[in-house]
Amino acid sequence: DVKVTQSSRYLVKRTGEKVFLECVQDMDHENMFWYRQDPGLGLRLIYFSYDVKMKEKGDIPEGYSVSREKKERFSLILESASTNQTSMYLCASSSYGAGQGVIDTQYFGPGTRLTVL
């Protein structure tokens, strides 16, 4: 079974703090993703990575950065946390599909519920 783990289930931080969210997958997947999920807005892609040291902006990258130094680990960094970054953060990973580099199923971690006060 694919396993994606996230460093914390619940996190409370203060405005202005630097926040690190860690994600580790054990299936040697090339692709990793960070999303946030908010009521009424669904899942929104923050950043993704197709390989070590590679990163691509998603739909809402402002206020976030990422790091992928090892294939199995993808970190999301909130440089200076703000109250509007209170959300559920979900990490996911996937391999490539069987044909023509089409993306395969994404597997999600359990999520980190971040509250910024």
Partner 1 sequence: RKEVEQDPGPFNVPEGATVAFNCTYSNSASQSFFWYRQDCRKEPKLLMSVYSSGNEDGRFTAQLNRASQYISLLIRDSKLSDSATYLCVVNRDSGNTPLVFGKGTRLSVIA
| Contact footprint for partner 1 (CB under 8 A) | 31, 33, 40-43, 45, 48, 50, 58, 90, 96-97, 100-111
**Judged by CB, which is closer to partner 1: 45, or 52?**
45
Q: Which is nearer to partner 1, 16 or 97 (CB)?
A: 97
User: What's the CA gap between 92 and 67, in Å, rounded?
Assistant: 15
Please, what is the minimum distance in Å from the beta carbon of residue 93 to partner 1?
Answer: 12
Q: Which of 1, 62 has the CB closer to partner 1?
A: 1
In the complex, minimum distance from the CB of residue 106 to partner 1, in angstroms, rounded to a whole number: 6
Q: Cβ 2 to partner 1, closest distance in Å? A: 10
- CA dist 33 and 50 (Å) reads 9
Residue 105, helix vs strand vs coil: coil
Q: Please choose, from the candidates 84, 72, 69, the residue with its C-alpha nearest in 3D space to the C-alpha of residue 114.
A: 84
First to last CA, the chain: 37
| SS3 at position 84 | helix
Q: State the minimum distance, in angstroms, from the CB of residue 112 to partner 1.
A: 11
